[in-house]
């Protein structure tokens, strides 16, 4: 919580240091309503998507191979339909 400067949630899943975190500008509709999503990239070569409204629930993960480069940068891109 940036207003109180206190930690309010911990997301468990990565097996190594987190190198990047990005807040999603998109809202995902699911069974329990709407989800606000953050995405994290780690030295463990995974990208994980987290539902911040459901208190720690991991929505999805992507594993990016065996290399030890880690996920250092994330960016959400909005695609427009023509």
- The whole-angstrom separation of Cα 75 and Cα 21 is 9
pTM of the model: 0.71
- Asked if pLDDT for residue 6 goes beyond 80, the answer is yes
Question: What per-residue confidence (pLDDT) applies to 35?
Answer: 61
**Residue of 52, 21, 11 lying closest to 34 (CA atoms):** 52
pLDDT tens digits for 19-72? 999 988 766 665 555 567 889 999 999 999 888 776 657 788 888 766 668 888
Kind plus residue range of the DSSP H or E element containing 71:
none
Q: What is the pLDDT of residue 18?
A: 92
C-beta of residue 45 within 8 angstroms of C-beta of residue 23? no
Position with higher pLDDT, 1 vs 5? 5
Distances in Å between the Cα of 78 and the Cα atoms of 24, 25, 75 are 10, 9, 10
């Amino acid at each position: 919580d940036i207003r109180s400067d206190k930690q309010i949630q911990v997301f468990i899943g990565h097996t190594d240091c987190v190198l990047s975190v990005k807040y999603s500008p998109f809202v995902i509709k699911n069974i329990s309503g709407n989800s606000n999503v953050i995405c994290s990239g780690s030295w463990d070569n995974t990208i994980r998507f987290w539902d911040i409204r459901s208190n720690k629930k991991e929505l999805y993960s992507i594993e990016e191979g065996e290399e030890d480069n880690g996920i250092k940068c994330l960016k959400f891109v909005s695609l427009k339909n023509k």
